[in-house]
Structure 1
């Protein structure tokens, strides 16, 4: 299986502060990878580096195109979607207007798909995004990204603050994406959605990947669990 995203010795900085210290990671076509770790481990910084939002150096290729040095809009046009932890819906626009902004011609994930998967978005299609609940905004952010027809989606903490029922809807959406051949990098503090997707797991600690393998192998690795993950 070919690598869709290949990262080798990636470093990243906020100003003079270095956060990533030589990250190695690959995501194959159609593969789901869950990136876990404690807060401050560098997970969100890696997501921003992939999208060209922080200063970085190293080798980072998407379908053999070098991403380091590219602007965010060019990276998005290559087929990488990004759902940030902040969700970033346009608050003054309606739900429908937000979805149409992200839509690309010939997309595999249409406005109709968004409404079928998240019926509440259709019910509230004329409501401004700023008036939505946190769970509704998360669904909107995910659906808007998907209407751009990405082949790889980077999703930062999709389950943060969501009720179990909404979390199940988000997990169902991501499972559908896997069935459609969309690869994903899923940033989670826990392994809730990763387990549902049978995702490969990469553990980040202090800006470095400390483990990369199956969930079953991770839970048997007491040293990694104790040193780099919050367990209790």
Structure 2
């Protein structure tokens, strides 16, 4: 499998705080990589580093071309979608206006109609201001807005956090649809049941670096990694 995204020796900072400490990682064409680890391990910072949202040093390559130094909107135009944990929708705009802002006029995989089919509630509420949506509806909107940008790779940060079980299932179905249509994914997710259902491979972060990268079965059999980097308490 050829590499779609490659990270080499990636460091990242918030001011003087050194968060990523030399991350090496790759994601292949159409591959779903689940990224696990405790809170504070650097997973969300890794997503922001790929998208050019924090100070970095090292190499980030997408289809062999460096993304280092590019502004976030240019990284998105290269074919990388990003769904942050905070969702970052535009609350004063309607559902449809949020989707139109995310559209790629040359989309091959996803359209607004696709987004409505995946999340029917968004079509029902297309004229409603996004700021009055429930948390689950806002997460659906954030995912749908990323889809209509027709990305080749999607970075999704804790998509099930704080959602009701029924909404978690819908979000899971959306991510499964992405995978079926050949979209690669970096899935940042602590719930191993969700990660395992979607992921082809799993990596674990600890103290700003990758401490495990392999199969789910290998991870389950590795008591040291589980105890040192995943267990709580």
Output the TM-score relative to the length of structure 1.
0.98
CA contact (8 A) 2:34 2:199 kept: no
Q: Distance in 2 between matches of 1:70 and 1:55?
A: 12
Q: Distance in 1 between matches of 2:92 and 2:145?
A: 15
The alignment's C-alpha RMSD in Å is: 1.0
CA contact (8 A) 1:225 1:231 kept: no
Q: Secondary structure at the match of 1:158?
A: coil
Q: Deviations over 1:1-39 (max 9, x none)?
A: 110000111001111110000001000000000111001
Q: Distance in 2 between matches of 1:121 and 1:42?
A: 32
Aligned residues between the structures? 232
Where does residue 43 of structure 2 map in the other structure? Answer: 43
Where does residue 131 of structure 2 map in the other structure? Answer: 130
Output the TM-score relative to the length of structure 2.
0.97
Where does residue 145 of structure 1 map in the other structure? Answer: 146
Q: Secondary structure at the match of 2:136?
A: helix
Q: Deviations over 1:48-69 (max 9, x none)?
A: 0000000101111000111111
Once the 2 structures are TM-superposed, how far is the Cα of residue 92 of structure 1 from its aligned partner? 0.6
Poorly superposed stretches of 4+, deviation over 3 Å? none
Q: Distance in 1 between matches of 2:199 and 2:157?
A: 18
Where does residue 231 of structure 2 map in the other structure? Answer: 230
Q: Distance in 1 between matches of 2:113 and 2:163?
A: 23
Unpaired runs of 5+ residues, structure 1, are none
Unpaired runs of 5+ residues, structure 2, are none
Q: 1:198 to 1:45 in 2, by over 3 A?
A: closer
Where does residue 109 of structure 1 map in the other structure? Answer: 110
